[in-house]
Amino acid sequence: MINYDVIEAVALITLDRPDALNTLNLNMKRSLRAAVERARDDSAVRAVLLTGNGRAFCAGQDLREHSENLARGRGLFGTVRNHYNPIALALATMAKPVIAYVNGVAAGAGAALAFACDLRVGSESAKFSMAFGAIGLAPDSGASWTLPRLVGPARAREMLLLGDEISAEKALELGLLTAIGSLSEARELVVRLAHGPTEAYVATKRALDFGATHTLAETLDEEADLQDRCVATEDHQNAVRAFLNKEKQPRFHGR
């Protein structure tokens, strides 16, 4: 139910349960976590593209399975702590660039997992729905952390409380999407990142995460440390050499 391929240093992770709108049952959650962690740990992978097969990106939790658990008195059965949290954390903290191609509906936890990625490209039929309240639940999978950082606290509160569907055009306006385009265009973007200065991307993501929770003075010190690491990389030295030699585009090898 999860397809995993590596092409041109890109790990393509595809949720493949189209008849169920790629909703996440226990097997899907286990397989998705394994795929994300595999991409994270594979040195041959320099960027990740997460998408869904069919007309949905991911419509969130499989409510049929959830209903069966409720009938057995098992409630959430630890699914948030044991499954959604590790997946969201692995996506959000991965050193490599992660792009979500939102090919259709992204609802509930499905939307939250897209928000945990670095960038999101959507098809014209992409739609976001913070559907937690509609089934009497609070947000999970990091939505209460990622969404305010993407659209601001007031808009995040509105989206989470009202649960109204957000079209691709509106999502682009709000900053939830980087662009509206095709899967091939999303692949072009992720390949571009995979061929870029990987260690500089690692440092950039680290700087952004650090700066979100530290003072300016602390962040300046962290940036200095990160720059020292980048200066020592082969990619930086090659790029400086290429610039001085007036080469159009340096070649980055991710080291």
- Domain holding 44, by residue range, is 2-194
pLDDT digits (tens, 9 = 90+) for 180-208: 999 999 999 999 999 999 999 999 999 99
Cβ-contact 57, 15 below 8 angstroms: yes
Q: Is residue 76 part of a domain?
A: yes
Which burial class, exposed, middle or buried, applies to 81 when counting CB atoms under 10 A from its CB (0-12, 13-18, 19+)? Answer: exposed
**Nearest Cα to 121, choosing from 59, 197, 49?**
49
Smallest Cα–Cα separation from 97: which of 69, 79, 117?
Answer: 117
User: For residue 135, what is the domain's CATH number?
Assistant: 3.90.226.10
Residues of the chain under the 70 pLDDT cut: 66, 68-71, 73-77
Q: How far from 40 is each of 10, 61, 83, CA to CA, in Å?
A: 11, 24, 17
* Same-domain check for residues 31 and 145: yes
Residue 134 pLDDT: 87
Residue 254 and residue 199 in contact, taking contact as beta carbons nearer than 8 Å: yes
Residue 125: predicted pLDDT = 96
Are 184 and 90 in the same domain? yes
In-domain check, residue 219: yes
106 occurs within a structural domain: yes
Residues 186 and 74 in one domain: yes
180: left (phi over 0), alpha (psi -120 to 50) or beta: beta
Q: Is residue 250 part of a domain?
A: no
pLDDT computed for residue 76 by the predictor? 62
Q: Are residues 216 and 107 in the same domain?
A: no
- Segment 161-183, tens digit of pLDDT: 999 999 999 999 999 999 999 99
Residue 249 lies in a domain: no
Question: Are 149 and 131 members of one domain?
Answer: yes
Say yes or no: 30 and 15 in one domain.
yes
Number of structural domains, the chain? 2
Please indicate, yes or no, if residue 176 is contained in any of the structural domains. Answer: yes
Given the structure tokens 């950082």, which residue do they identify?
149
Helices H / strands E in the chain, number of each: 12, 10
pTM of the model: 0.90
Alpha-carbon distance 24 to 10, whole Å?
23
Confidence at residue 77, expressed as pLDDT on a 0 to 100 scale: 64
In a domain, 254, yes or no: no
